[in-house]
Structure 1
Amino acid sequence: MRPITIIIPLILLFFFSGCALGKKEWPSAVESEDTFTLKLMATAVQNNCIFMKVVVDGASHRLYRATIQYEYVGDGGGCVGCPFVPRDVVHFTRNQTEFDMSGNTLSLSLCGIDQDKEYRFRVAGKSELPASPIEYTDVYVTTP
């Protein structure tokens, strides 16, 4: 047998087996560059609308979608001491005019509510990175 017929397959085997070695894992978000948190800074209820200012700390450029989750408090709705179960949601994506982001401050509004009712709500934010978790503000209550 020729030595070249043995050496070439061994070289090829060594080369291709080396391609499968090493630690492989899905890419994950870099905490300081890819994540953000949401904090509700101000709300106002007027003209059947709730106006909100939300501060996006961290990678605000990664915020792709904001969602207002809400429920009214009272008959057929939730109660102040009950777990928050949003009965309605409104989505805003980065390419909509209602998605008003200035610096790291996001301005949102929810219209069509009854000003005489009490509402519980929170804002959720989804990153443009699919593996990133959804971020939420605390749950807040409006007063009629």
Structure 2
Amino acid sequence: MKSFSFKKCFLLTLLMVTLLSVTGCGVKMWPSPQNNEDIFSFASITGRRTGECLKVAVKINGAFKNVDNLSLQFQADGDGPGEGCPTCPFFPAIRKQFTPGSEGIQSDGSTFVFSQCGLDPNKSYRYRVVGRNIYEALGVVISDVYIVTP
């Protein structure tokens, strides 16, 4: 009778170890949002120079209501400090944040329009737009780099 009880304990222990080891198997990665309803992207970005101002219009695809802020990052092309050349890597010397609903940004549904003034009217500027989602885990959306000439 003792051998039967020993076999039973051994099998139960073996079954428990197997179950515990199997539950640890599988893909191991950090959880990520699966809900595409919360994600947005840039459909189009257009910039226009008028004198010393740059006016930018951003059209959003997806959850435009989840835009926390839009950051305009720009750099003058030239020889001065903080300036770059058209073929140099883009390093934004100036960053300006625009929060939907605040002063300085206008929105019409999924289109956001803002402007930055005080630019040198004789220089070309390279710029990009970075959008932040209200859900930080979804990260940022970064546009291509665009060039506007005087």
Superposed pair shares fold, TM > 0.5: yes
In structure 2, C-alpha distance between the alignment counterparts of 1:93 and 1:75, rounded to whole Å: 32
What is the CA deviation profile of residues 5-31 of structure 1, one whole-angstrom value per residue up to 9, with x for unaligned ones?
xxxxxxxxxxxxxxxx9xxx9763335
Aligned to 2:14: none
After the TM superposition, list the runs of 4 or more consecutive aligned residues in structure 1 that deviate by more than 6 angstroms: none
In structure 2, C-alpha distance between the alignment counterparts of 1:41 and 1:69, rounded to whole Å: 13
Aligned to 1:29: 33
With 123-132 and 42-51 compared, the bigger mean Cα shift is at 42-51
TM-score by length of 2: 0.74
Q: Give the gaps of 5 or more residues in structure 2.
A: 1-22, 24-28
Tell me the amino acid that sits aligned with residue 59 of structure 2: V
Structure 2 residue corresponding to 1:128, chosen from 130, 134, 147: 134
Aligned to 2:108: 102
Q: Give the gaps of 5 or more residues in structure 1.
A: 1-20
Preserved CA contact (<8 Å) 1:39 1:137: no
Residue identity (%):
33
Q: Does 1:85 align with 2:91?
A: yes
Preserved CA contact (<8 Å) 1:73 1:80: yes
Larger Rg: 2
Q: How many residues align?
A: 124
TM-score by length of 1: 0.76
How far off is 1:138 after superposition?
A: 0.8
